[in-house]
Structures are given as structure tokens and as C-alpha cells.
Structure 1
Amino acid sequence: MYKVFVNDKPLFLTSTVEKETDFQLFLLESIDIEQLISKIFNNRIEKAFLYHPDEKAALKLLKERIQVAKAGGGLVYNKWGEVLFILRNGKWDLPKGGIEKNEDIEDTAMREVEEETGVSGLKITRKLQKTYHVFKRNGTYRLKITHWYEMKTNYDGTLIGQAEEGIEKVAWLKPAQIKDALKNSYENIKLLFEEEGSVKQI
């Protein structure tokens, strides 16, 4: 099952027909996707399931119906086991950003971490799950697919938030602090963490 967030509300792509309880079920083949997303965006639907017999085909179909923006991001650990967070628009987030022309997604992820936080000497240690969320730009809905990577660094210099990206603060957070930060974060970011602050491997 794929989980796509629209305005931090879940839209599930599923191949199982479940009885509607606290959600609404729609058929992906026949639904007006823009209209559905608009309703979720405007808080008229809290939770929705999109049914298609083949989950992978469902994702492909969704990508055909809504413009895709590809991004890369990092879940970065320092030598003390702290995780690199940014505070943007009043919420804790992880550094990430859009891919540039002819760029490998791994390079995107490392470049964005460095640009948004000032942290260098990054090394990718493993690939994490992708996250999906819908955002609106210039009146158009887009599906952002973010490729996440676990990274390590020995960098212990100054942290510099990229002001033009609206980053108010950059901080290394200890495992105990992460739990609190996630209370004021996005659902996609929470997906990357288990309760004890380690990363889910998919």
C-alpha cells in the first residue's frame, strides 16, 4: 500500500476493498483526481483510499494524472548519533529539495543537505523509503516523490540555514529531542522514524 499525503492527510493507494469506516473509498480508474485532491486540501475529506487491483499500476496511473516533482533528501547522523533537522515554516523537517537537470538523485540529496544546512563531508550509507505528498504551486497540484538516504558525516562546524528556502534554524537533535520534534513535524517525516528514533528500512 502506498501512502500519499495531501495537506498532511493520508490518501492510500490500495488493492484491497475495505468497508468504509473513518475513510472514503474511491475507484482510481473513474475518480476525478484533481477534484478529490482539492476536497482533501480544503479539509472536506480527512482520509481516503484509492482502489486499484494492482498497487504498482495504481502509482503509475496517479503519476500520469498529476504532474510529478522528484526530490532527494537526507536523514543525516553525526559521529555522536545526533540527527540533522531544519526548522522551516515553524515545523521541524529534514533537508531535501528538487532534482536538477542531468543530476543523479543521490547527488541531489547530498547537494540539498549541504545547501540547506551548511553541513559537508556527507556519505550515503543506505537508501531509505520514498515518501509521497501533494503540494500546490501556481494553482497546479503536483505529486512530490522524495527519495530519502541515510547519511553520515564527521562535520562539526557551523550550521547555516538557507534563508531563501525559509529555513529559520538548523540543529543536531539527540534521540530524546527527536521525539518532541516529530510532534511538530510532517507525516512524511514521521514515516522515516520508528518510535526510538531509528530509521525504518523498506
Structure 2
Amino acid sequence: MKKIYFNDRFIGVAGLNHDVSTAEGMEQILVTDCKDIPNLVKYFDDTPSIAGLILKGADKKAIFKAVRACFSAIEAAGGLVENPRGEVLMIYRFDRWDLPKGKVERGEEVEEAAVREVEEECGIADLTVDARLCKTYHVYTMYGKRMFKTTHWYRMRHDGSGALTPQTEEAITDARWVAPADLAACLENTYQTIREVFRSAEEGF
């Protein structure tokens, strides 16, 4: 199931045969006509008690596309970077731990954008890209416009040498290598999309 996050809530898109949670705060709706999607998104917006709205249908790709069409689209890319000690490169911005990422520029390859953003936000170079990891989706408001951000994530390596320099003009106040023993505390204070990236990385082992 694909999840589109709205802060800590989400709209999920699933096929007809996909088993989904029936926990408190979750609601399932069968979609037979994608023309209904804008009204369903509005219903989700207007009902904050819904933690997760799962839209199920025979054509889940069409449903996902219809949800995305309700917003302005933006593409971003970032990296889950590890060093030989097993530490993960994380940044601190807006009072939460995050992974380095940013907007894909016009004419830029997605993987190139991921490397550039990690380098710029953390002040490092000589990254090695191991593999494409996953995509995450979230909706946010920028300058009064609601944006649907698709972020492409890559698994990367770095030798861990040299000082890290947080990109303060991007509101990053810290960049550091986080040891495995300290990772759980950081993930307690991060975004749902970042937790998805780490889950995807664990499944890849």
C-alpha cells in the first residue's frame, strides 16, 4: 500500500485484495470512480479524527494519480548515508531529525540531485551510491499552495572523514553521524516518511 502523508496522518492507496488495518482512526472506502477522489480528499481534510483513510479499488495506479492531481507536484531526492562504523548521516531542522534531501532541479537526473543535496546540506563530498531505496510521498503547504512531494531515496556510503557543515541557509542547525545505539531516539522525533525510509532499508538486508 502506498501512503501519502499529511503530517502524521495519511491517505493510503491499495488494491481490492490488500488487507489493511482496521484499527481505531482508520477508515476504508471503495473507489469505483476516480472522479470522486477530490471529494474524498476534502472529506479527509475536514475530518481530523481520521488517522488513515485507505482508498481501495481495482485500479490503484489510477487512484494514486487522481490523488496526486489534487495538488501541485514537486520532485525531490535524498540519501540514507552510512559510514564504515554503521553510523547514519542525519540533519536537524525545524526541531526534528531528518535525512538530507531537496528539490530536483530542471534537467537534473534524480540520482545526481540526491547526491548534490546530501553534499550541500551536510558539507561533504565523495559519496558512493549503492542502490535506489524507495519513494515517499507527502503533502504540505508552501506559499499558500498545497504541494504533493515525491522524494526519491538512495542508499549511499561515505568514509566518515572530515567535519560536517550544516547548511544553515536551509534552516539546518545540525548535521551529525548518528550511532546505531542512538538511532531510536532520533526516530522518535522525526517524520513518518523518514521512518518509512529506514523500514525500507531494513527490508533490503
How far is the alpha carbon of 1:52 from its aligned partner? 2.5
Match of 2:202 among 191, 194, 199: 199
Structure 2 counterparts to residues 24-43 of structure 1, below 5 A: 24-26=27-29, 27=31, 29=34, 30-31=36-37, 32=39, 35-36=42-43, 38-39=45-46, 43=48
CA distance in 2, matches of 1:184, 1:25: 28
Equivalent residues, number:
198
Of 74, 81, 90, the match for 2:86: 81
| Ranges in structure 2 where 5+ consecutive residues have no aligned partner | none
**What does 1:1-202 correspond to in 2, within 5 Å?**
1-16=1-16, 22=24, 23-26=26-29, 27=31, 29=34, 30-31=36-37, 32=39, 35-36=42-43, 38-39=45-46, 43-194=48-199, 199-201=202-204
Relative to structure 1, the CA distance from residue 45 to residue 73 in structure 2 (aligned partners, 3 Å threshold; closer, same or farther) is same
Partner amino acid for 2:130? T
More helix by share: 2
- Structure 2 counterpart SS, 1:149: strand
Q: Deviations over 1:36-75 (max 9, x none)?
A: 45336xx343221122312222222223332211000000
Q: 1:82 to 1:21 in 2, by over 3 A?
A: closer
Runs ≥4 residues deviating over 4 A: 17-21
Q: Which moved more, 1:56-65 or 1:141-150?
A: 56-65
Q: Which amino acid aligns with 2:204?
A: Q
CA deviation string 1:80-139 (max 9, x = no partner): 221000011111100000110100000110000011111211110011010111111122
Cα distance 1:137–1:198, how it changes in 2: closer, same or farther (>3 A)? closer
Q: TM-score, normalized by length of structure 1? A: 0.88
CA RMSD in angstroms comes to 2.3
Q: Which amino acid aligns with 1:83?
A: V
User: For residues 75 and 87 of structure 1, do their structure 2 counterparts lie closer, same or farther at Cα, with a shift above 3 Å needed?
Assistant: same
Cα 1:65–1:170 change in 2 (3 A) is: same
Deviations 1:137-161 (A, max 9, x none): 1222111100000001124111111
* Residues 47 and 154 of structure 1: CA distance in aligned 2, closer, same or farther (over 3 Å): same
Between the aligned partners of 1:88 and 1:131, the Cα distance in structure 2 is 19
Identical residues among aligned pairs (%): 34
- Inter-CA distance 53–123: structure 2 relative to 1 (3 Å threshold): same
